[in-house]
Structure 1
Amino acid sequence: MAMMLVKYRDDYEKTTMGLLSFLPDFHSVKHLTGELDWYKTGHNRQMYLWKNADNQFTGVVGLECLDEVVLVRQLVLSPQDRNDTTRAAILNAVAELFPQLHVMGTIATTPMIMRWQNLDGH
C-alpha cells in the first residue's frame, strides 16, 4: 500500500481529533472541534490525513491556500511516525498536490519546512 494524503471527511473526525490532540494547544474537545470547523468553513482551507504504508492514519496536515502559497498551519504525526522522513514524505505530497503554489510555514511550522527544503532541495 502506498503512503498518501487523504482529504478530510466528516467520518474521519474522531481520528483527526485524536491526531490533533498530540499538539500542546489542542487538548480540549472544544478547541479541537473549533479548529475542525475553521477548516470546514473556509474555501481556501483544507485538512488532509496521512495514511502510512500499513494503511493506517498516522498524521494530519492543515493547509491554507493563499495567492501563491500553500501555508502549512499544522503537521501532526502519531509518535511512531514522528520523524523527518515521514514529514518530508507528507510535505512532498503537499507540493505535488499544489504544484502551482510555494509551500511555506507559519512561525510554528517554518523550522520543519526549512529542514524539508534543505533535505529535498525545494
Structure 2
Amino acid sequence: MLIKYKKSYEKFAMGLLSFMPTEKDIKKLRQTMKSYETEENMHLFLWKDDEIIGLIGVNAADDQEFVIQHVSVNPSFRHQGIGKRMVKALKDMYPYKDLRPNEFTASFLEKCDLENNPD
C-alpha cells in the first residue's frame, strides 16, 4: 500500500533513497530529504506491505502532472513488481495527474507502460 511520507519514516526514506545513483553522497541525500519535507510541490510516498520496502518521490510541476523524481525498492524485494505497483497506486490516487519521468526515472517509467506518453 502506498502511504504519504511522515517525519517518523525519515530513516526508512533515507535508506531507500540512498539506493538511487544520484543520492549516494550524504549531503545530497540530506538536501533531497529537506526538499521533500519543506517544498510544497515535492511529495514523497512509501510502499508498505508488512514493512516499508519502496519509495516514490514526485514533483508536482503543475496542476496537471507529477514528475517522478525517485523510485527505489529495497534490493531484497526487487524484481517482484513493487516499483510498477507504486506507479500504478500513485496513478490511482491522483487520476487527474499525468505522470512524467525525469531523466533518471525515464527508462523505469517506460517499463511500467501506463499509457503516460507525452504526445
TM tier, smaller: 0.7 to 0.9
Over the matched positions of the two proteins, sequence identity in percent amounts to: 26
Q: Would you say 1:98 and 2:94 are equivalent positions?
A: yes
> Where do 5+ consecutive residues of structure 2 fail to align?
none
Give how far 1:26 is off.
Answer: 2.0
Q: Would you say 1:18 and 2:15 are equivalent positions?
A: yes
CA distance in 2, matches of 1:73, 1:34: 14
Deviation string 1:15-73 (CA, Å, 9 cap, x unpaired) is 11111111223233322111011112211110011112xx1101111111122211110
The 3-state SS of whatever aligns with 2:81 is helix
Structure 2 counterpart of 1:32, from 14, 29, 34? 29
CA distance in 2, matches of 1:111, 1:24: 14
Q: For the structure 1 residues 25 and 111, does the alpha-carbon distance in structure 2 shift closer, same or farther, using more than 3 Å as the test?
A: closer
Give how far 1:110 is off.
Answer: 1.1
Q: Would you say 1:115 and 2:88 are equivalent positions?
A: no
Could you say which residue in structure 1 is the equivalent of 2:54?
A: 59
CA distance in 1, matches of 2:39, 2:85: 26
CA distance in 1, matches of 2:104, 2:25: 20
Could you say which residue in structure 1 is the equivalent of 2:78?
A: 82
Please tell me the residue identity of whatever aligns with 1:103: L
TM-score (norm 1): 0.85
Please tell me the residue identity of whatever aligns with 1:48: F
> Where do 5+ consecutive residues of structure 1 fail to align?
none
Give how far 1:121 is off.
Answer: 4.9
Q: For the structure 1 residues 27 and 107, does the alpha-carbon distance in structure 2 shift closer, same or farther, using more than 3 Å as the test?
A: closer
Could you say which residue in structure 2 is the equivalent of 1:8?
A: 5
